[in-house]
Amino acid sequence: MLWGCLVGQSTLNASAFLCQPGQAGVNGRKIREVMVVRAGADWSALFGLWFMPYNPNCADSQIEHMGLPQVMMTDRFENNSAAGPRNVVVLGSTGSIGQSTLSVVAHDGGTRLNAYGLVANSSVDRLVEQAKEHRPKYVGVASAAAAGPLRQALQGTGIEVLEGPEAIERLVADPEVDRVVSAVVGSAGLGATWAALEAGKTVALANKETLVVAGPLVMALARSRGAHVLPVDSEHSAIFQAMCSGSAKEVKRVILTSSGGPFRGKSRSDLQNVQPAQALKHPTWNMGPKISIDSATLMNKALEMIEARWLFDLKPEQIEVVIHPESIVHSFVEFVDGSVIAQLSPPDMRLPIQYALTYPDRFDCPAPRLDLSKALALNFSPPDRETFPALELAEEVMRMGGTAGSALNAANEVAVERFLGGSLAFLDIPRVCRAVLDHHTFESAPTLDTLWRVDAWARQEVARWGS
């Protein structure tokens, strides 16, 4: 996008603006939008018509890496109203992120967003409720056993039921789909996310494991297909927004915040006999069981560090973590001049979800507002790396790249399942992840098939660990 504008003399008015959209500008480049200047504007030293790449929210180099070379003005709702609301597919609609997404869609009332497709694994009852409320064109389930009851429950509604991974991958590639929310927990979300990017879609990425497992491959795919990747995680959305204050080359470091989870301030000896019910009690966020356990071990923050590495094309040493129990500041970006930019809001996922769905525009959101009229204390402290070794694992994976992310993620997923099932101790979760990372057959430039093989091997190793 190019903006053409006249710079200069006093009392410039719109009649002085001679170039129109579509006309040739400098070096034959066309003006797509005209900046209208109100009469009476004060300008100094008129020196002619100038051009600059228009990017409404972020530095060009950063947005290009994320698959957004330039956001066209036609992507804005006010310039594209004739096209109707954006059709959204929600992968993992019955989970916590999926439900928050549908809350955003409902709040919009169909003006800008439309639930086009809802996909779940096997939660038929909740999916039926969502389908009847939001009336999507399609609903899908990964589980074949769930498809029959779902079809029966939706008989006569006109909603088409899709079954299995291949059908879901066809759904996300549907030409009518505008944005895909990838909110399936774990590496299971990679297949459909890959299909969406391969089809050139804009993906609102809540599934951090996609980038943990296959970050370089996923980002390369997005760039090659003209697809877009927008972050949904509150920390990465905060970084994305804060990076708008400078260019990518001016970023010194990013600092992800962590509430510290339910065991903030505890020592390793305090955690010897932790039970699942204790670890599931997150102090500030309402999340599903897997992410809640990851937050208790700080593995969730570890995975977010790896995600940030690939999403924003950062060096491992540029990514840090700080404990912030209030969960009001979602991340910081420090620039080379010492300026630190933060994004603040109450802990509610609907805000970053809506921003990913409506980007580059902003609209009223159902999430609560930050009330600065009341006394507010914000606290920050370094993480306890001895009690929570997951952060060290993340730093190692970021340095290694290759198959390391796949090994760590798969090991953690099975370790969390075993902990929730009572067959693995809480403190053994990072231990088993360390063992798998150290002993897997590392490859520096794996194919997607290789990553899946490492994933399968790691799962088998953790399943039999300690037996």
Cβ contacts of 154 within 8 Å, gap of 6 or more: 128, 131, 132, 139, 161
**H/E element, 119:** strand 113-120
Q: Give domain status of residue 45, yes or no.
A: yes
Closest CA relative to residue 434, chosen from 401, 383, 388, 467: 388
State the average pLDDT over residues 255-270.
Answer: 95
pLDDT at 9 over 70: no
Cβ contacts of 160 within 8 Å, gap of 6 or more: 137, 138, 139
CA atoms within 13 A on the CB side of 443: 15
Domain boundary among 231, 257, 288: 231
Domain boundary among 180, 206, 231: 231
Share of the chain above pLDDT 90, in %: 75
Please give the Cα distance from 141 to 119 (Å, whole number).
6
pLDDT of residue 230: 97
118 and 166 co-located in one domain: yes
pLDDT of residue 45: 31
The range of the structural domain enclosing residue 39 comes to 2-54
Q: What order of strands is seen across the sheet that includes strand 138-141? A: 160-163, 138-141, 113-120, 86-91, 179-182, 202-205, 228-231
114 and 182 co-located in one domain: yes
Q: Give domain status of residue 459, yes or no.
A: yes
Predicted TM-score (pTM) of this structure: 0.83
pLDDT of residue 38: 35
Q: Give domain status of residue 358, yes or no.
A: no
187 and 89 co-located in one domain: yes
pLDDT at 76 over 90: no
pLDDT of residue 33: 36
49 and 89 co-located in one domain: no
189 and 101 co-located in one domain: yes
133 and 47 co-located in one domain: no
Could you give the number of structural domains in the chain? 3
Q: Which of the residue ranges 43-47, 106-110, 327-331 would you say has the lowest mean pLDDT?
A: 43-47
Q: Give domain status of residue 170, yes or no.
A: yes
pLDDT of residue 142: 87
pLDDT of residue 447: 97
Identity of the amino acid at 77: F
Q: What are the tens digits of pLDDT across the range 107-118?
A: 999 999 999 999
* Ramachandran sector of residue 190 (left: φ over 0; alpha: ψ -120 to 50; beta: rest): alpha
CA-based angle 420:422:425, to the nearest 5? 90
Please give the Cα distance from 202 to 69 (Å, whole number).
13
Q: What are the tens digits of pLDDT across the range 176-231?
A: 999 999 998 777 788 999 999 999 999 999 989 899 999 999 999 999 999 999 99
Please give the Cα distance from 316 to 335 (Å, whole number).
16
Q: What are the tens digits of pLDDT across the range 375-410?
A: 999 999 999 999 999 999 999 999 999 999 999 999
Share of the chain above pLDDT 70, in %: 82
Q: Give domain status of residue 210, yes or no.
A: yes
- Cis peptide upstream of residue 56 (ω within 30 degrees of 0): no
Instruction: Calculate the average pLDDT of the chain.
Output: 85
pLDDT at 50 over 90: no
- Annotate 12-69 with DSSP letters as a single string: B-GGG----TTSB-GGGPBP-EE----TTB---S--EEEEEE--SSS-HHHHHHTT-S
Q: What are the tens digits of pLDDT across the range 274-289?
A: 999 999 987 776 678 8
pLDDT at 19 over 80: no
pLDDT of residue 79: 55
223 and 90 co-located in one domain: yes
- Using alpha carbons, list the distances in angstroms from residue 386 to 265, 267, 349, 391: 12, 8, 30, 10
34 and 96 co-located in one domain: no
Q: What are the tens digits of pLDDT across the range 408-428?
A: 999 999 999 999 999 999 999
Identity of the amino acid at 108: D
pLDDT at 62 over 60: no
State the average pLDDT over residues 345-350.
Answer: 96
Please give the Cα distance from 318 to 381 (Å, whole number).
18
pLDDT of residue 77: 60
Closest CA relative to residue 451, chosen from 461, 465, 441, 438: 441
Identity of the amino acid at 372: L
State the average pLDDT over residues 10-21.
Answer: 33
pLDDT at 4 over 90: no
pLDDT at 160 over 60: yes
136 and 175 co-located in one domain: yes
Q: Give domain status of residue 377, yes or no.
A: no
Better-predicted residue by pLDDT, 436 or 188: 436
Q: Give domain status of residue 442, yes or no.
A: yes
Cβ contacts of 95 within 8 Å, gap of 6 or more: 120, 183, 184, 185, 288
* CATH number of 416's domain: 1.10.1740.10
pLDDT of residue 82: 58
pLDDT at 39 over 50: no
- pLDDT class of 350 with cuts at 50, 70, 90: very high
Better-predicted residue by pLDDT, 3 or 462: 462
pLDDT at 330 over 80: yes
Q: Give domain status of residue 332, yes or no.
A: no
